[in-house]
Amino acid sequence: MNALVARLVVDRGVPSRGSRPAPGQDPAAGPFRLDIELTVASGEVVALLGPNGAGKTTALRALAGLTPLSAGRVDLAGVCLDDGDAVFVPPERRGVGLVFQDYLLFPHLSALDNVAFGPRCRGASAAQARAVARQWLARVGLADLAARRPRELSGGQAQRVALARALALEPSLLLLDEPLAALDARTRLDTRADLHHHLGEHPGPTLVVTHDPLDAFVLADRLVIIEEGRIVQEGDAATVTARPRTDYVARLVGLNLYRGHGDGHTITLPTGMEISAADTVHGEAFVAFPPAAVALYVQPPEGSPRNTWQARIVGVTRHGDYVRVRLDGGPGEASADVTPAGAAALQVEPGQQVWAAVKANQTRAYPA
Amino acid sequence: MHDTNVSGAGLAGAGPSSETPPTATTSTVEARRRRRPGLVPAPLILPAVLALLFLVMPVVGLLVRAPWRQLPQRLVAPAVLDALRLSLVAATLATAICIVLGVPLAWMLARIEFPGRRLVRALVTVPLVLPPVVGGLSLLLLLGRRGIAGQWLYKWFHVSIPFTTTAVVIAEAFVAMPFLVIAVEGALRGADDRYEEAAATLGAGRWTTFRRVTLPLVAPGIAAGSVLCWARALGEFGATITFAGNFPRKTQTMPMNVYLLLETDPSAAIVLSLVLLAVSVAVLASLRERWIGGLS
C-alpha cells in the first residue's frame, strides 16, 4: 500500500489561499506552476531531484502544509491532508517531519530540548519528552552533546540533531530538504552514510529533495526528476543513469544526449547528422554516449569510422585527472574527456577545429 | 612527461575564457567595497563640530555646576526620595503595561496581513509626534470624571482616574508605548519566521510557537524596547502634569520635582537632574550591551 499519494499543484506568482510568498522564492520570477504526482510507499525513500527553481522545495512545503495546494490532493496513510479546496490540515496536525536545508534548530534551546520540542507539543510531559529526546540523540550518536546549544555544534552534528528532532515526532511522512547541502565535502561523505542508515530504519515513506545526483543515488530507492514544475523522468538509479531523457538529467549523470528519429541502428538528428548505435530503435528516439567515448583527432581519422564529425572547440576545463573539451558541431553541443597528455598533443584551445569520433558500440539508443 | 603535464595545466588555466563572468563580478564587488580615502569637505566640518558641542555642552554645564559636596545629604532628602520612588515605580508599571499590551500589537503588525495594517502602524506612532501636553489633555477628555469613558467609570464603579498615581502610570504608558511596539516589531521582522514554520511542523500550535519560539527569539529586541520605553516613561513631563497633576508623593515625579525646585532651590534641581542623567547613562550603557549581544 502506498502511504503517500499526492498530486501537488501549487501556483506561484498568483496569490493563493491566505499564504505569504514562500521563503527562497523570487517574487519577481513571474507565474510558476508546480504540477506533479507522487506516490511513496511505506519504508520507501524517494529522491526529488531537479535544478534550482524546479519546484522541489515548493513540493516539500506543500506536503508539510506550509504552502497550501492550489489544486490536487495529498493523502497520507489514507487520510486526506489537503484537497486544494475545503480540506486543509495545518502543519502542526499533520505529523509530517521536515528536516530543513539549514536545519533551523531553535538557537535558544539545547540540542536535547530541540529534539524534545516535538514530543512536548504532542502532549508528553517535560520529563517524558526529554527521555524520548535522549533516546533519539543516542541513536544519531550525539548523546554526549545533549546540553550543547546549536551554535556550539558542527554542521554535521547540527544535521543529525535536526534529523533526530524530525524523527522524534515518529512522523508518518519524513521530508528532507537538501539534507547535505550545507556540509563540507568530508563531513558530507560521513553524514551521507549515516543518513542512509537512518532513512533505512524509518518505517514510513521518506522524500528527499536534492540537486546532487550522488545524494540521490546513495539515499533513495527511486528518483523523481522535476524541471520547471513538471516530472521529466522517474525510475531507479540504474535506469536514470543509463537512459536520461532531458539535457538536465544527461548533465546530471554525465552523458551527451541527443534526440532524433531512429530507423534501425541509425538515428537521424535534427542537425542532419546520423549516429549509428548498437541498439535498434524506430521512431522518436534518444541517443546517448559518455564524454570519455569521444575521441578527438587533428586530421580526419583513418578508415572513416561512422559517427565522425568536424567540430569547433568552445571550451576547455580541467577536472581532476582528465580534461573536458566542449565541442560545437555535428550532433550539436558535445563534451569529450581526454587525458592531459592527449590534450597537450592536440594543443586543444577554444576556436580550434578538430575531428570527433564515437564508436557505435559506445552509444546507447532508446525510444523517446 | 613532465612537459605534457605542465602544458596540460596551462591549458586548463587559459582554456575557460568563456567562463570569466564570476571573476568579473568578484572584482566589481571588491571595487565597491574599497572606499576612496578622501578629505571631509570643509563646509561640513564646522556644522558637525557645532552640533556635537550643542549636544554635549549642556550636560557638561550640569556637571560643572553640580553641588558635588552636598550631593550625599541632598540625595537622601525625603522629598527627593519620594519623587525618585514614585518615578521608578510609575515608569516600571508603565513599562509592564507596554510589554503586556505592546508585544501582542507588535506581533500583529509584523506577522498578520490585515486590511489597514499601514494605518494601524501609523496610528501607533501618533504618541511619538503628538505634543505630550496634547496627549495628556486627550487622556483627560477620555478618562476624566466627565470624559467619554471616565463618566461611566465614575458612575458605575465610583472610580476617578485623573490626578492619581494610576493617572501617572497611564500617561507614561501612553507616551512610551510606541517605543516598545516599534522596537519589538523591528525585532520580529528581523527574526527568521521559518523557525515558526519549523515549530509548526513539530506540532506546535500558534500560541505554543509564539510562547516557546517567537518570544525567546526576539527577547533581545523586547529587552531593548523595554529599556527605551522605561527611559521615556521616566522622563515624561507634559502628559503627566496635564493628566495627573502635580501632587507630592502621589503624582509628583522627578521631572516635575526638578521643574518646581528650579524656582525655590536651584541646586536641589541640579541634584535631581544629575540623578536622571545617571539613570539615562545607565540605560544607554545597558542598551549598548544588548545591541552588541544581540548582534554577535
- Mean local confidence (pLDDT), A293-322: 85
pLDDT of residue B281: 86
The grid coordinates listed for A133 are 529526546
Interface probe for B, chosen from A117, A122, A314, A347 (most Cβ of B below 10 Å), is: A117
The three-state secondary structure class of A309 is: strand
All residues of chain A having their beta carbon less than 8 Å from the beta carbon of residue B192 are 104
- CA nearest to A96 within chain B: B201
pLDDT for the residue numbered B201: 95
| Residue A31: per-residue pLDDT | 80
Q: From the list A94, A108, A314, which residue is nearest B216 (CB)?
A: A108
A185/A163 Cα distance (integer angstroms): 19
Alpha carbon separation from A213 to A49, A56, A176, A240, A311 (Å, rounded) = 7, 14, 15, 10, 30
Residues of A with CB under 8 A from a CB of B: 20, 23, 64-66, 90-98, 100, 104, 106-109, 117-118, 121-122, 165-166, 169, 314-318, 323, 340-341, 343-345, 348-350
Cell numbers of A198, please?
A: 537512518
Q: Average the pLDDT over A162-179 and give the result.
A: 94
Say whether B5 and A340 touch across the interface (CB within 8 A): yes
Tell whether the model's pLDDT for residue A146 goes beyond 90: yes
Q: Is the pLDDT of residue B8 over 50?
A: no
State residue A147's pLDDT score: 94
Express each pLDDT in A74-102 by its tens digit.
999 999 999 988 899 999 999 999 999 99
Of the pLDDT bands very low, low, confident and very high (cuts 50, 70, 90), residue B1 is very low
Pairs of residues, one from chain A and one from chain B, whose beta carbons lie less than 8 Å apart? 110
pLDDT at A304: 58
- The string of pLDDT tens digits covering residues B220-240 is 899 989 998 999 999 999 999
Statement: residue A104 has pLDDT above 70: yes
- pLDDT over 70, % of chain A: 94
Contacts of B216 in chain A (CB under 8 A): 106, 108-109
Cβ–Cβ gap B195/A104 under 8 Å: yes
Mean pLDDT of A27-52: 87
Model pLDDT, residue B24: 40
Average the pLDDT over A348-362 and give the result. Answer: 87
User: Is B267's pLDDT higher than 60?
Assistant: yes
Q: What is the mean pLDDT of chain B?
A: 83
Q: How confident is the model at residue A306 (pLDDT cuts 50, 70, 90)?
A: confident
* Best B2, B6, B112, B201 residue to mutate vs chain A (most A CBs within 10 Å): B201
Checking if the pLDDT of B83 tops 80, the result is: yes
Taking residues A62-83, what's their average pLDDT? 93
At residue A132, the pLDDT reads: 95
Counting residues of chain B whose pLDDT is more than 90, the rounded percentage is 50
Q: Which of B17, B199, B205 sits opposite A350 (nearest CB)?
A: B17
**pLDDT band at residue B79, thresholds of 50, 70 and 90?**
confident
Average pLDDT over chain A reads 88
pLDDT tens column, A187-234? 888 889 889 999 999 999 999 999 888 889 999 999 999 999 999 999
Kindly determine whether residue B11 and residue A323, on different chains, have CB atoms separated by under 8 Å. Answer: yes
Q: Which amino acid is at B13?
A: G
Query: Which residues of chain A make contact with B219, given a CB cutoff of 8 A?
Result: 108
Q: Which of A176-190, B31-45, B59-73, B259-273 has the lowest mean pLDDT?
A: B31-45
Which of A99, A104, A323, A346 to probe by mutation at the B interface, max B CB count within 10 Å? A104
Taking only the tens place, the pLDDT of each residue in A264-278 is 888 889 988 888 888
More confident residue, A337 or B290: A337
Question: How many whole angstroms separate alpha carbon B104 and alpha carbon B206?
Answer: 13
Confidence at A30, pLDDT banded by 50, 70, 90: low
* Most confident among A22-31, B60-69, B165-174 (mean pLDDT): B165-174
Whether pLDDT at B208 is above 80: yes
Q: Which of A5-19, A195-209, A318-332 has the least mean pLDDT?
A: A5-19
- Bridge partners, A289 (sequence order): A256
Section B99-115 average pLDDT: 94
A66 interaction partners in chain B (CB closer than 8 Å): 197, 200-201
Are A91 and B192 in contact (CB < 8 Å)? no
pLDDT, position A321: 87
Q: Which residues from A are below 8 Å from B201, CB to CB?
A: 64-66, 91-92, 94, 96-98, 166
- Selecting from A104, A108, A344 the residue whose C-beta is nearest the C-beta of B198 gives A104
Instruction: With a cut of 80, say whether residue A26 has pLDDT above it.
Output: no
Instruction: Answer whether B15 touches A (CB < 8 Å).
Output: yes
- Would you state the pLDDT for residue B3? 38
For position B9, what pLDDT does the model report? Answer: 37
B14 pLDDT more than 60: no
Contacts of B208 in chain A (CB under 8 A): 121
Confidence class for position B71, pLDDT limits 50, 70, 90 = confident
Q: How confident is the model at residue B82 (pLDDT cuts 50, 70, 90)?
A: confident
State the pLDDT at residue A110. Answer: 96
Interface test with A, best of B6, B7, B11, B211 (most A CBs within 10 A): B11
The pLDDT value recorded for residue B13 is: 36
CB contact under 8 A, A107 and B205: no
Phi-psi map region of A21: left, alpha, beta (phi>0 left; psi -120 to 50 alpha): beta
Minimum-distance CB partner of B15 among A93, A96, A316:
A316
Q: Does the pLDDT value for residue A27 go beyond 80?
A: no
Question: A300-309, B91-100, B118-127, B192-201: which range is least confident on average?
Answer: A300-309
Q: Note the pLDDT of residue A167.
A: 94
Q: CA-nearest residue of chain B to A60?
A: B201
Does the beta carbon of B19 lie under 8 angstroms from any beta carbon of chain A? yes
pLDDT of residue B29 exceeding 60: no
pLDDT band, very low/low/confident/very high, at A305 (cuts 50, 70, 90): low
Q: What pLDDT does residue A52 have?
A: 87
How many percent of chain A have pLDDT more than 90? 55
Residue A106: list chain B partners with CB under 8 A. 195, 198-199, 213, 216-217
Per CB-CB distance under 8 Å, the chain B contacts of A170 are none
Q: Which of B192, B202, B207, B213 is the best substitution to test chain A (most A C-beta atoms within 10 A)? A: B202
User: What value does the mean pLDDT take over residues B166-190?
Assistant: 95
Coil, helix or strand for A364?
strand
Mean pLDDT within A250-257: 89
Rg (CA), chain A: 24
Bridge partners of A11?
Answer: A33
Chain A: residue whose CA lies nearest to B7 = A344
H, E, C per residue of chain B: CHHHHHHHHHHHHHCCHHHCHHHHHHHHHHHHHCCCCCCCCHHHHHHHHHHHHHHHHHHHHHHHHCCCCCHHHHHCCHHHHHHHHHHHHHHHHHHHHHHHHHHHHHHHHHHCCCCCHHHHHHHHCHHHHCCHHHHHHHHHHHHCCCCCCHHHHHHHHCCCCCCCHHHHHHHHHHHHHHHHHHHHHHHHHHCCCHHHHHHHHCCCCHHHHHHHHHHHHHHHHHHHHHHHHHHHHHCCCHHHHHHHCCCCCCCCCHHHHHHHHHHHCHHHHHHHHHHHHHHHHHHHHHHHHHHHHHHC
